[in-house]
Amino acid sequence: MSTDSMPSVSVEGKTAVVIGGTRGIGRAIALGFAEDGADVVATSRSADAVERVAEELRERGAATAEVTCDVTDADSLETLRDTTIEEVGDVDILVNSAGTVAQSPITEMTDEEWQQDIEVDLTGVFTACRVFAREMDAGSIINISSMSADQAREARAAYCAAKSGVNGLTRAAAADLAPDIRVNAIAPGFVKTEMAGPKLDDGSEFRETVDERTPMGRVATPDEMVGTALYLASDAASFTTGEVITVDGGYDDSAQ
C-alpha cells in the first residue's frame, strides 16, 4: 500500500456528539475532536456545564449546539440527536461517556444505588446507541467502558456489572450495525477525573498502591484517552469494530 492511500487518523470535517462531554474523559475527547477539526456537540444534564464547554469548542473553531441531555430519558436523547442534525449536521461519531458510580459494599448497596448505575452506565449507552444509529448512515460509536469490567473492585458491584454489560453491548451492537456503523469501546484504567475523587490524589495510600501496580508508575490524565478515541472515530479504524481497547498503563491487579 502506498503512503498516498493510507487512511488518516483524523476527524476533520466530521460531526461528533459526546454524551457526558462536559467533564473528565468526555470533555477531553470533545475538545480533542474539536482541535482536530471536527464539529462537536458536548452534552450533559447541566445547562451551565454545556454552555461552558460549548464556548471552549467554539474557541477551537468547532460548530456546536447547546443541548442538555439525560441519558436515562429516550426523548431527551432524541432531542439531542435531532437538534444536532438540524443545527450542526448529520452525526458521524457518537461517544457515550456519561457515567456514575455507587460506592457501597454489596451488603449495604441500596436498590436505588444499583439501579442508578445500571440506568446511566449501561441502559443509557444502549438507548443512545439505538437512538443515534437509527439516523446514522455510517460512522463510529465509541462507548467508554472501564478496566473494572474485567477486574474486581471493592464496593463497586453495580459499576463493575454495568461496565461488563457495556463491553457485551459493544460487541453485539457492532454485529448488528455492521458494515456501515462501527462500534467499539475504550476501557480506561485509573484516570484522575472529578468522578475519581480524592482517592487518586498524590500521596494518598490508594494512589501509592495504584502507582506500584502500574508499570507506567502513575495514573492517566483524561487527555491520554483522546488518541485512542481519535483512532476509533477516524477512517484509520475502518476495519475495527466490536473491540474493547484497554488504556491502563499496563495495570496489574495481581501485582504485590
- pLDDT band for position 198 (cuts 50, 70, 90): confident
CATH of domain 7-247: 3.40.50.720
| Alpha helices for 14-156 (secondary structure H) | 24-35, 47-59, 74-87, 111-118, 124-133
Indicate if 159 belongs to the active site.
yes
**How many other C-beta atoms are found inside a 10 Å radius of the C-beta of residue 90?**
13
- pLDDT band for position 4 (cuts 50, 70, 90): low
Q: Report how far apart, in Å, the C-alpha atoms of 127 and of each of 32, 73, 74 are.
A: 25, 8, 7
- pLDDT band for position 139 (cuts 50, 70, 90): very high
Measured CA to CA, the distance from residue 201 to residue 219 in angstroms comes to: 10
Task: Please report the pLDDT score of residue 223 as a whole number.
Answer: 98
Cell of 252: 496489574
Q: Which of 117, 90, 116, 94 is nearest to 42 (CA)?
A: 94
- Percent of the chain predicted with pLDDT > 70: 98
Whether residue 3 is predicted with pLDDT greater than 70 in this model: the reply is no
What ranges do the domains of the chain cover? Answer: 7-247
From the number of C-beta atoms within 10 Å of its C-beta (0-12, 13-18, 19+), residue 35 rates as: middle
User: Is there a contact between 73 and 124 (Cβ–Cβ < 8 Å)?
Assistant: no
Listed in sequence order, the residues at least 6 apart from 140 whose beta carbon sits closer than 8 Å to its beta carbon are 92, 93, 94, 181, 182, 183, 184, 232, 233, 234, 237
Whether residue 143 is predicted with pLDDT greater than 90 in this model: the reply is yes
Helix axes 157-177, 111-118, angle to 10 degrees: 30
Q: Which of 33, 132, 159, 251 is catalytic?
A: 159
- Chain-wide mean pLDDT for the chain? 95
Task: Please report the pLDDT score of residue 186 as a whole number.
Answer: 98
- pLDDT band for position 253 (cuts 50, 70, 90): confident
Measured CA to CA, the distance from residue 84 to residue 57 in angstroms comes to: 14
Report the greatest alpha carbon distance in the chain: 59
Task: Please report the pLDDT score of residue 194 as a whole number.
Answer: 87
Task: Please report the pLDDT score of residue 199 as a whole number.
Answer: 85
Measured CA to CA, the distance from residue 158 to residue 137 in angstroms comes to: 34
pLDDT in tens, 151-184: 888 888 999 999 999 999 999 999 999 999 999 9
Whether residue 1 is predicted with pLDDT greater than 60 in this model: the reply is no
Measured CA to CA, the distance from residue 255 to residue 154 in angstroms comes to: 17
Ramachandran assignment for 174, one of left (phi > 0), alpha (psi -120 to 50 degrees), beta (any other): alpha
Q: For 215-231, what is the mean pLDDT?
A: 97
Whether residue 79 is predicted with pLDDT greater than 90 in this model: the reply is yes
Supply the DSSP symbol for 104: B
Measured CA to CA, the distance from residue 65 to residue 39 in angstroms comes to: 9
pLDDT in tens, 97-132: 999 999 999 999 999 999 999 999 999 999 999 999
Which letter, b or e, does each residue of 36-46 get, where b requires 16 or more Cβ atoms within 10 Å of its Cβ?
bebbbbbbbbe
Task: Please report the pLDDT score of residue 256 as a whole number.
Answer: 52
| Alpha helices for the chain (secondary structure H) | 24-35, 47-59, 74-87, 111-118, 124-133, 157-177, 205-213, 226-233
Task: Please report the pLDDT score of residue 255 as a whole number.
Answer: 66
